[in-house]
Structure 1
Amino acid sequence: MSGYQHELPPNISKTSPAPEEAREELLQQCEAIWKQMEECQSKLTMSGPETLPETDVQLYLLMMQVKALTAEYEQWQKRTPEIISDNQDVLLAVGKEELEKIAQELEMVLSSVQAKNKKLKKDLEKEQNWLDGQQKIVDALTSRQDELKNQLTAFSEKRVYQDIAGKLYKVRAHKEELLSALGDFLEEHFPLPQEQENQSKKKKGQSGKKSVQLMTLHEILEILINKLMTTPHDPYLVLEPHHWPPYIEMLLRYGIALRHPEDPKRIRLEAFHQ
């Protein structure tokens, strides 16, 4: 029940008949209106059907419709509001009925508005939760960004240089270890030919010529590695008498070294790192 219904007059029972005077008055008014309608109907019947022109029938109908609407508009402008009845009981019953209809319509509107308001509150709560979650993510990312900026500021060029120098030192130390291990392995498994040295000494004593000092396999490989790394555009080694031929042939046979395509006296190390 709406808040203003307590101000309405007492209910008039639908089962109890209205006062006789009010009923008689309403019946008389209805009969008068009915007589007016009959008179209008008889006038329309007597006027007979109106003949339409052969051309522009649609235009003619539209013009007649405009005339009818204009006449109706003028009648409504001239007409003054009429009271249903002067009887207070009739007016009270009609007013109460209209107020009850309005109250029902307003209650329906209120119920609909409340339902929409409830739904909007739920949607607003969901949106607020989503917004809070997004704000937390933004705050976390902003905090992380500030931390990275601080770290980047503290990470100076001197520190970068020191890190690179330390890594380079470790690489060089590791390289020396590998070369040392390679030298020990080659010295153990690929020693210089003793007989060749002895024969060279004998020939030196007989002919008086200087003997050729052969280069170890370790030294040959180290030269080839250095040439490949320092001068990659020209990594070839020119073969000389102190390069023992069996070592050279072994390197070529096992694919460790390659000959120059135009000069067989020049070899290079296979680029295993590429």
Structure 2
Amino acid sequence: MESLVNEIQDLQTQCDSLQEKIGESVKETFPSKRAEGIKTVDDIIQLRNQYLTAELSVRNQDASTKKISTHPAVVSSTFTKELDELISSMAELMQVVNAQMENLEKSIENKASMIQQQNEIHDAMQQQLAANTESNQNFDDFVKSLESKQAKHSLDIQTTVKKMNEFLDSHFPVPSTKQQKLAGTNVNVYEMLSQKRFVSMKQLYNDLLNLAVEKPDGPYLVIDDQHWPPYVDLLLRFGIAVRHPGDINRIKLANSYI
């Protein structure tokens, strides 16, 4: 009987050694950060170890109360049976451990895949953010450039209009009575006392220009008694203004002068 107990104790020692190897193998396979998942495997091994320890204790107690045959054949048969049972139990335990390890490996692979996808999404978002920032900067620069060009264009227009008005005031003033007579205009006594009957060339041109800007669909100016005919003819003759195709008393600026 002592021999059987010693053999069972040796088997217990081998089980402890096997448990340590399994634990080391699990730790090498799964880093410490996965300890939470491995805890289940350790619990199974510990419970199995407790079971074997309790079984050994019971057998030791039974050895003192029961008389076991010391016949070699009986001892060998008993030991072989118990060893087979232990091997079967350990095989079942290894199956559980392997299943747990496979599940953990799949879980780790899934988490690694999710992390990789998140990193790819993060990189794509960073690239898009950088592109949007660059695009916004380019757009701001473009707007500033347009505003600068617009300001310069407005200044050029103001300068041109000012020079044009000065030129028209200097060379095409409000027609005097003498000019009206030379042009064959009938001037009565009241008209001779005032030179405000006709508008200046500057006023005529500005009226045409304002109509072209404010009413592009109907930029025609009606010619009446306040417009001096020689000035109107001058604009028409040099192609600065054109008549309405259906009304000779209406004129507008030519497109090239707008």
Q: TM-score, normalised by structure 2?
A: 0.40
Higher helix share: 2
Instruction: Please report the TM-score for the alignment, with normalisation by the length of structure 1.
Output: 0.38
